[in-house]
Amino acid sequence: MDLSGQLSMEQQFKLKVLQEQVQGLSKEQAQEYLLEMFRQMMVKDNLVKNLLRNA
C-alpha cells in the first residue's frame, strides 16, 4: 500500500475534473461544498477507525 501522500493517475484525473466543476461556484456554494466534504471525510475516518478496532 502506498502511503507516501502521492495521488494515483485516476485520483489526479478526478481532482482535475472536480477543479473544473467547482470553478463556477459562488462563495456560499463553495463553503457549503467544503463543509460537506470535510463532514464526509470525518465519517470515513470514523468508519476506518471502527473497522481497525474490530479487526
Buried b / exposed e along 38-53 (16+ C-beta atoms within 10 A): eeeeeeeeeeeeeeee
Which H or E element spans position 10? Answer: helix 9-22
Q: Which amino acid is at 8?
A: S
**Residues 11, 17, 19: CA angle, nearest 5 degrees:** 100
pTM reported for the whole predicted model: 0.70
The three cell numbers locating residue 40: 464526509
Which residues of the chain carry a pLDDT beneath 70?
1-4
pLDDT for the residue 41: 96
pLDDT for the residue 2: 56
